[in-house]
Structure 1
Amino acid sequence: MTAAKHIEILRVNYLRGPNIWTYRSVIEAWVDIGVLEDYPSNTLPGFYERLTTWLPGLIEHKCSPGVRGGFLQRLQQGTWAAHILEHVCIELQNLAGSQAGFGKARSTSQRGVYKVAFRCRQEDLGRQTLEAGRLLLEAAINDTAYDLNASVAKLHDLVDSLCLGPSTSSIVNAATDRGIPHIRLTDGNLVQLGYGHAQRRIWTAETDQTSAIAEEIASDKDMTKSLLKACGVPVPEGTLVRSPDAAWEAAQDIGLPVALKPLDGNHGRGVSLDLSNEEAIRTAYHVAKEQSGGSVIVEKFIPGNEHRLLVVGKQVVAAARGESAWIVGDGIQTVTQLVDAQINTDPRRGEAEELPLSPIIPSQSPEVQLELQRVGLTPDSIPAKDQRVLIQRNGNVAWDVTDDVHPSVARVAAMAARVVGLDIAGIDMVLEDVSKPLEAQRGAVIEVNASPGLLFHLKPAHGKARPVGEAIAQHLFADDASGRIPVVGITGTRNTGRLARLTAWLVHISGKHVGLACSEGLFLDGRQVSAKDSTQWEASQRVLINRQVQAAVFENPSRMILADGLAYDRCAVGVITDVSHTPELNHFDILDAEQAYKVVRTQVDVVLPDGCAVLNAADPQVVEMAELCDGEVIFYALDENHPVLVEHRKAQGRVVFVRSGTIVLAAGEQETELVALAHLKPAKAAQPELVMAASAAAWALHIPVQLIGAGLRTFESSPKKTPY
């Protein structure tokens, strides 16, 4: 009997920012494939068939051939378990509802040990996916059982509980498409779009412009109606009641039929419509009371269909119509069984957050039970054959009607949002026909909702999906706004902590509030907040989430890039002092300067197209990075006749050098003397390369030369002595 072949996971790391693999977050796992190093995929009998039967979606993986089915070609030709694990983990995430596409596998210096990296949006999900992928792969190799459905279901639950919800994701994705960075601030849906003082914050469909007062008004339906009515917005006549007797009395005064709803409910819970008799009204009162800590509203029932209009800013950007849910009896099945068979089997219904319609469970819904009671049924009753039974009048808003909305209807919806004071609102209206003028029908606003759901606009049951995420991103950021502040990243081994402090000081004296995270501590505007080494992800995040910060400077040692990735997605300036191998990199299997180059280049890879890389011309490996930069390049070197500087100046590039003891900035043939080293304090004068690099970074940020010179002269090495 052949011994089972196993894969051992040696180490798992979550790289949260740009890294040696890609610009986005990835799981990086070190795996030992053991004897499988001698068994590529084409030598394992039946493996290909078992794996592709479990994961038919692998045909979509292009892999290195770059075509559909490319990965399957690699399987048939023969590839190793670590590479296969990468693709299995990607596909498992796709099946679980978290789309992924990137992955790589690379051998290490130890035979049979590989680094496997794959895209993942959340660390715990990535770790669980890795373990599930390992078990599936081993089962396919060893021809043993594997419960794929259970595994995917578990991962799907993790996606639902740990990843951003679809509404929040739509806004984040729209911002990302515009180049606006984001930071997830909690395990929930609180997200920061942009950095520092340029940031905005969202919490699903709430923003940092959403008024707390407006939310309180919207949660009080009676107050909302009063304000809307006072401003000329049509609303149904109604009153507050505190007992079933009062509800019946109010219904008679208003005129039957009526609707009852909780004062402070939401999402249609506790709402009963078209009530025409005392028993139904008394029952509806108790249904509404269960959803409200206070009073119940009795209001005139308006015939028509429920509509939800999404207002963002000052305009309607999407609209959806609701429809009632019915069943048809067969004389055999109960109401509950018919609902499951005729309504809940709709693939658009389910508990998953990405589905537009929720399942209906009669035994758990007082609203449904009230509807059944009105026709003499219960959830356990068996309707007669062909009997049509109304199950739910509202709560099925999922039919897109955005293109049909009449301007007068849109105008009233937008006015309702403004009256309440919400920047984003879901306006519920009852309308006979959304395409007709409001004055030509008995239409009315029945509710104004803060933090409205976006899903039935993003994934309607019928009709076109609407780009509501883009609308909200546009509402938060003007066309020319990127949500970015100037970010300077510094990588190397040559006194980069002091270089970062000097650079931050030069930016600060230009008039900006500057955050700095480096090996010498955490600083805000020259004030040392912490004296601890702050070249970690958490310290850098503290800078980027600070609303006061107008510019940020980061020291990024290679070990940080390897352990966490960069804390920011892109930067305005990337400074590279050198490429050097240090002993601490051996832990990451980076064993020489050539491998260290691949780490350091990450800093240049993230320079924005309108940004600049500041490179040490005296280091040949650093010079090689110039061609990797999407933006401009400024070279610096002590010798003005260094060949790299000479050639760069011929191409009208910018350079920094020392001539006769003076720092000189040159752009093509134009030269500007910055400051004499003799005029600087001894510590800086003895480190001209540090001064040149900091000056070049400040120059790249368009800081006036005079201010750069002044900053060089006034900077103090001791944080306590740094002037404010």
Structure 2
Amino acid sequence: MRTFDDIRLLRVTYLRGPNLWTYRAALEVWLDLGALEDHPSDKLPGFVDRLVAVLPALEEHHCGVGERGGFLQRLREGTWMGHVLEHVVIELLNLAGMPTGFGQTRSTSKTGVYRMVFRARDEAVARCALERGHRVLMDVINARAADVPAAVQAVRDAIDRAYLGPSTAHIVASATERRIPHLRLNDGNLVQLGHGRRQHRIWTAETDRTSAIAEGIARDKDLTKRLIAAVGVPVPEGRIAASAAEAWEAAEDIGLPVAVKPSDGNHGRGVTLDLSAREQIEAAWALADQEGSEVIVERYIPGDEHRLLVVAGQMVAAARGEAAWVTGDGRQSVAQLVDQQLNQDPRRGDTEDHPLGRIDVRGDGAIVVDLQRQGLAADDVPAAGRRVLIQRNGNVAVDCTDEVHPDFARVASLAARTVGLDIAGVDLVAQHIGQPLAGQQAAVVEVNAGPGLLAHLKPAIGAPRPVGKAIVDHLFPPGDDGRIPLVGIAGGGATHRVARLVAWLLQLSGRHVGLACRDGLFLGARQVESRDARDGALAERLLLNREVDTAVFENGPATILDQGLVYDRCHIGVVTDLDGAETLERHDIREADDLPRVLRTQMDVVLAEGTGVLNADDERIAALARYCDGGVILYATGPAPLAAHRAGGGRAVLAAGGRPVLCEGPAEIPLALRGGSSLPPAVLLPAVAAAWALGLAAPLLAAGIDTFDAQNPALNPADSR
């Protein structure tokens, strides 16, 4: 059997935003099949059967046929290896737990060279999937053993390293459902929701409305108890113990049984409950001392542990904890019983994706203490039928939201508001969460900042709760999508001059305008960066800036092809010209007729309530109107290209006597300029149309044009950039 050299990956480009292929981030790969160009899938003996044997779920891929088994049909009919690589990569991503449906492969003008693209939520993960998929495919082509499990694990590991935690990811998904954009600000869970002045930030379940003072209070459990007790929230009596001996003294004074916990611990670490014997209390003090700066001894409250999630003063979800027990069989040790009866539960694990944690009977001091009270150790063998208590807390994963009595919801809300937290996990112990507070022994034992959401998102028992939606609604009231007006200007000629004029006009209207163009990065009239700001890393700074309430971006064809757009959607999208094709040969573009499919990207992302601005002097550009979800304003140097659009009541901008005229249907409003502008129509008309689309009136537009030349002398007609 013939052995083939590896498919060559000529160029790999991460497209961070909307691009030629899709609205979303993608990885584009230019590849050279070499000799495999002459050996499509049906020409390699046994290839299809070998591929399906290692990746049987390829049968589920629809491909262009549009139904299950479509890709297999293409394989047996004959398809080229670039297309096969696309599906192998997608399947590895699917198997690794990141379902991915989008991919395309297209030939280029050079024989054997293809462009392959697939959806890439994260660049590192996408590159890992490409590398591993490439290796698997070459192994199958050459009839070598393909280690698919290792490939899947590598991609899964990349996902674990790169992706948001489940709580943050759920909040972001809830924001996306409301079409609120997001930007990840670090490698962890710091995420910006919204743009510019209308943004909010989250860090897991903390927000930019979460007070640092409130967080400090919540970390100090003794201070928290004193504050919430002062406003009538029931709390267990307790005090700080500086030593094991003081812990026993405190327990005697408070009354047995007691609980011992660190004053500033979390996740139940170092907490031991229901203690009555001195040796138990002293051992529990030593355990708690390892987890926090101080140790609290407090009255033990019998009942079940509950976590009530409070958002903006309202209880939105609740989960109940259940003690973990094992039953002896007279043969196995406690440790073996735990592994068999508890840790085998698929809901238990060591990652954030598991609602229940794995139990370590030797490493968890609280479990060791509880076993000692029962006269047992991890290696002891309980009698057959004997029930052994393993863990009293740490299993808060049973949804009970619908059971919570209003008394407990009110107490949780009061506790969160007293501490000052906008989002809080209120831990309370109660015997009957569904009955009134009066008449039962119950108490709030902790108020936590940045509470984990997993118990409410993936409860071990019960229905998931939309806690992410509650958090997003807290930050963004109904109707607020967190977006500031964005203007995207695409073309290859004088688009930087158009962008500069648009920014100037909008600034005169009282807006705090950010501008990213080839001349640099601007905040108002101040240049803050002289480098070409069509680069996405620079342009994104406008979206991060809390002062910016409107932003203008210049996007050349190379920007779209090399990086994708920096924003997901915009309010105003402008396409001015089809210049610059001669500079794009590396993208297999050689003439102006190839550019509309690239610049279409700018029209694709216009919001439904937005406006597309198109140059009607070029029919190829005017035809892009069909891709715009919003309204359309056409502009032209003469009336003929605008006639049909105006006849239908559409808006347009016309050059007449060297001055722009605003047209809406048959109505016309000439701009009353003081004198003729030095700006050519190719700059003046699209800029006026974009500013008009954002609500600027004719007098302000005229004043802006009159003053622009004086304020921007470098941008005169002689400027040929």
Does TM, scored on the shorter chain, surpass 0.5? yes
Superposition deviation, residue 151 in structure 1:
2.2
Instruction: Show CA shifts across 1:213-232 (max 9, x none).
Output: 00000000000000110010
Corresponding position of 1:357: 356
1:290-689 correspondence to structure 2 within 5 Å: 290-292=290-292, 294-640=293-639, 642=640, 644-676=641-673, 679-682=675-678, 684=679, 687-689=680-682
- Is 2:248 the counterpart of 1:251? no
CA distance in 2, matches of 1:148, 1:390: 42
Q: Which moved further from structure 2: 385-394 or 240-249?
A: 385-394
Superposition deviation, residue 581 in structure 1:
4.3
Q: Which moved further from structure 2: 66-75 or 443-452?
A: 66-75
Does structure 2 conserve the Cα–Cα contact (< 8 Å) formed by 1:518 and 1:534?
Answer: yes
CA distance in 2, matches of 1:40, 1:717: 63
Give the 3 Å change call, closer, same or farther, for CA 717–59 of structure 1 in structure 2: farther
What amino acid does structure 2 have at the position aligned with 1:26?
A
- Is 2:202 the counterpart of 1:202? yes
Superposition deviation, residue 120 in structure 1:
1.6
Superposition deviation, residue 138 in structure 1:
1.8
Give the 3 Å change call, closer, same or farther, for CA 659–149 of structure 1 in structure 2: same
Does structure 1 conserve the Cα–Cα contact (< 8 Å) formed by 2:214 and 2:421?
Answer: yes
Does structure 1 conserve the Cα–Cα contact (< 8 Å) formed by 2:315 and 2:413?
Answer: yes
CA distance in 2, matches of 1:523, 1:573: 19
CA distance in 2, matches of 1:7, 1:484: 43
Does structure 1 conserve the Cα–Cα contact (< 8 Å) formed by 2:128 and 2:154?
Answer: no
Give the 3 Å change call, closer, same or farther, for CA 127–280 of structure 1 in structure 2: same
Superposition deviation, residue 318 in structure 1:
1.0
- Is 2:67 the counterpart of 1:74? no
Superposition deviation, residue 48 in structure 1:
3.1
Does structure 1 conserve the Cα–Cα contact (< 8 Å) formed by 2:516 and 2:552?
Answer: yes
1:21-40 correspondence to structure 2 within 5 Å: 21-40=21-40
1:105-120 correspondence to structure 2 within 5 Å: 105-120=105-120
Report the TM-score, using the length of structure 2 for normalisation.
Answer: 0.96
What is the SS of the residue equivalent to 1:64? helix
CA distance in 2, matches of 1:153, 1:84: 21
CA distance in 2, matches of 1:711, 1:444: 65
CA distance in 2, matches of 1:370, 1:400: 28
What is the SS of the residue equivalent to 2:510? coil
CA distance in 2, matches of 1:713, 1:120: 47
What amino acid does structure 2 have at the position aligned with 1:284?
A
What amino acid does structure 2 have at the position aligned with 1:112?
G
Superposition deviation, residue 608 in structure 1:
0.6
1:2-151 correspondence to structure 2 within 5 Å: 2-4=2-4, 6-151=6-151
Instruction: Show CA shifts across 1:310-357 (max 9, x none).
Output: 111121111111111122233333332222222111111112322211
What is the SS of the residue equivalent to 1:715? helix
Does structure 2 conserve the Cα–Cα contact (< 8 Å) formed by 1:498 and 1:520?
Answer: no
After superposing on structure 2, the runs of 4+ consecutive aligned residues of structure 1 that deviate more than 4 Å are 717-722
Q: Which moved further from structure 2: 522-531 or 30-39?
A: 30-39
CA distance in 1, matches of 2:161, 2:387: 38
Does structure 2 conserve the Cα–Cα contact (< 8 Å) formed by 1:196 and 1:549?
Answer: yes
Does structure 1 conserve the Cα–Cα contact (< 8 Å) formed by 2:4 and 2:35?
Answer: no
- Is 2:690 the counterpart of 1:690? no
Corresponding position of 1:183: 183
Instruction: Show CA shifts across 1:93-133 (max 9, x none).
Output: 22222232211111122222211111121111111110011
Does structure 2 conserve the Cα–Cα contact (< 8 Å) formed by 1:614 and 1:634?
Answer: yes
CA distance in 2, matches of 1:70, 1:695: 50
Give the 3 Å change call, closer, same or farther, for CA 356–44 of structure 1 in structure 2: farther
Q: Which moved further from structure 2: 219-228 or 315-324?
A: 315-324
Aligned residue pairs total 715
What is the SS of the residue equivalent to 1:639? coil
Does structure 1 conserve the Cα–Cα contact (< 8 Å) formed by 2:582 and 2:591?
Answer: no
What is the SS of the residue equivalent to 2:349? coil
Gaps of at least 5 residues in structure 1 are none
Instruction: Show CA shifts across 1:598-623 (max 9, x none).
Output: 11110111011111111111112101
What is the SS of the residue equivalent to 1:501? helix
Report the TM-score, using the length of structure 1 for normalisation.
Answer: 0.96
RMSD: 1.7
CA distance in 2, matches of 1:89, 1:142: 18
Superposition deviation, residue 376 in structure 1:
2.8
Does structure 1 conserve the Cα–Cα contact (< 8 Å) formed by 2:658 and 2:676?
Answer: no
Give the 3 Å change call, closer, same or farther, for CA 365–46 of structure 1 in structure 2: farther
Gaps of at least 5 residues in structure 2 are 716-721
Superposition deviation, residue 65 in structure 1:
2.1
Instruction: Show CA shifts across 1:6-29 (max 9, x none).
Output: 322221111111001111111111
What is the SS of the residue equivalent to 1:363? coil
Instruction: Show CA shifts across 1:412-468 (max 9, x none).
Output: 111111111111111111121221122232121111111011111111111111111
CA distance in 2, matches of 1:84, 1:359: 40
What amino acid does structure 2 have at the position aligned with 1:646?
A
CA distance in 2, matches of 1:386, 1:447: 36
Superposition deviation, residue 584 in structure 1:
2.6
Q: Which moved further from structure 2: 435-444 or 305-314?
A: 435-444
Does structure 2 conserve the Cα–Cα contact (< 8 Å) formed by 1:5 and 1:142?
Answer: no
Does structure 2 conserve the Cα–Cα contact (< 8 Å) formed by 1:328 and 1:386?
Answer: yes
Superposition deviation, residue 720 in structure 1:
8.6
What amino acid does structure 2 have at the position aligned with 1:296?
V
What amino acid does structure 1 have at the position aligned with 2:700?
L
